[in-house]
């Protein structure tokens, strides 16, 4: 998804007069993973936009054919990319992000750029201390080889099954893998793993900014990649903020909760929160 395309969509959103909503995907997915969500929010009166990370390909097939385009993307670079795009909107948007997109969502909220924010199974930031064994296992395909810091790393089906699709049937897991899974940069995972050891890390959130706005954190009960312990610790850090801070756990759901067959429950939960404030 080219930056020119994203800027053209921003112009459309500005011209629509509707309240904007920005969707931010995480690792191993593309902006198209939000297509069904965008349709729901548009029907509810919002102007949705799902920008890509820098150099995101348009399709899963293209992404898997050219994995090298994902390499070399840091959390700070991606956050600045989205902040620049959001700064082109005439109105503060609601921002909805999943996984590392949920981390970017909180970074942007901490910079006072969003009217309301929803972070779904968000990657941890500096100060979030729990490190569950399942998270370490989910990150092993990247963190197991230091050379992956500079690489784009695909997941095998078995790795995707554990880290994303553990809470769905085998048939659905294979369909999700074929339809959505793409390579991802290794660098953000190394940054997140070292965030509590590095005072200068880019993986940090200003949780105290009074301009942060309302924030909802959503946790999938069965998520192996970002379990409840991480989401709850993020919530506790965010309670430093004077704004509304809420947390919800979605029963029986894994890390694929934004794309699997139960996506609509999560989407409706996010939409209800956004409607209260935006």
Q: What is the pLDDT of residues 114-172, one digit of tens each?
A: 999 999 999 999 999 988 999 999 999 999 999 999 999 999 999 999 999 999 999 99
Residue-wise DSSP of 127-167: T-----HHHHHHHHHHHT-GGGGGSEEPPPHHHHHHHT-TT
Residue given tokens 């309240």 in the structure block: 19
**Across the strands, what pairs with 168?**
none
pTM to 2 decimal places: 0.97
The pLDDT assigned to 1 comes to: 57
Name the burial class of residue 173, with classes exposed (0-12), middle (13-18) and buried (19+) by CB atoms within 10 angstroms of its CB: buried
pLDDT at res. 213? 97
- pLDDT computed for residue 131 by the predictor: 87
Does the pLDDT value for residue 2 go beyond 80?
A: no
Percent share of the chain, pLDDT over 70 = 100
Neighbouring CB atoms inside 10 A of 267's CB total: 22
pLDDT average, residue stretch 74-83: 96
Q: What is the mean pLDDT of residues 16-34?
A: 97
User: Who's near 276: CB < 8 A, 6+ residues apart?
Assistant: 116, 214
Lowest average pLDDT, out of 22-31, 124-133, 243-252, 260-269, goes to: 124-133
User: For residue range 169-220, what is the model confidence (pLDDT) as tens digits?
Assistant: 999 999 999 999 999 999 999 999 999 999 999 999 999 999 999 999 999 9
Dihedral of alpha carbons 92, 4, 28, 104, sign: negative
- Number of domains composing the chain: 1
What average pLDDT does range 257-271 have in this prediction? 98
Q: Which domain holds residue 170?
A: 3-277
Question: What's the CATH code of the domain at 159?
Answer: 3.40.50.1820
For 221, the token pair is 């009960």
């Amino acid at each position: 998804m080219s930056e020119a395309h994203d800027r053209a969509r921003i112009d459309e959103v500005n011209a629509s007069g509707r309240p904007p909503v920005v969707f931010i995907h995480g690792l191993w997915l593309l902006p198209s993973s939000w297509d069904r969500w965008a349709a729901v929010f548009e029907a509810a009166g919002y102007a949705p936009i799902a920008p890509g990370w820098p150099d995101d390909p348009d399709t899963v097939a293209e992404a898997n054919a050219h994995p090298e385009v994902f390499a070399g993307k840091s959390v700070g670079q991606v956050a600045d990319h989205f902040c620049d795009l959001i700064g082109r909107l005439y109105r503060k948007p609601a921002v909805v992000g999943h996984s590392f997109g949920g981390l970017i969502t909180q970074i942007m909220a901490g910079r006072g750029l969003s009217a309301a924010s929803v972070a779904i199974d968000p990657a941890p930031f500096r100060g979030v201390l729990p490190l569950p064994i399942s998270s370490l296992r989910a990150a092993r395909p990247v963190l197991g080889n230091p050379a992956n810091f500079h690489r784009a790393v695909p997941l095998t089906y078995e790795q995707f099954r554990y880290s994303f699709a553990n809470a769905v049937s085998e048939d659905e897991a294979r369909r999700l893998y074929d339809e959505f899974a793409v390579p991802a940069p290794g660098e953000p995972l190394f940054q997140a793993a070292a965030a509590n050891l590095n005072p200068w890390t880019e993986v940090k959130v200003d949780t105290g900014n009074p301009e942060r706005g309302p924030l909802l954190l959503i946790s999938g009960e069965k998520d192996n990649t970002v379990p409840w312990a991480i989401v709850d610790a993020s919530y506790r850090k965010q309670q430093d903020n004077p704004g509304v801070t809420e947390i919800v756990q979605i029963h029986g759901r894994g890390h694929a909760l934004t794309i699997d067959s139960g996506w609509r429950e999560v989407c409706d939960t996010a939409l209800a929160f956004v409607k209260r404030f935006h």
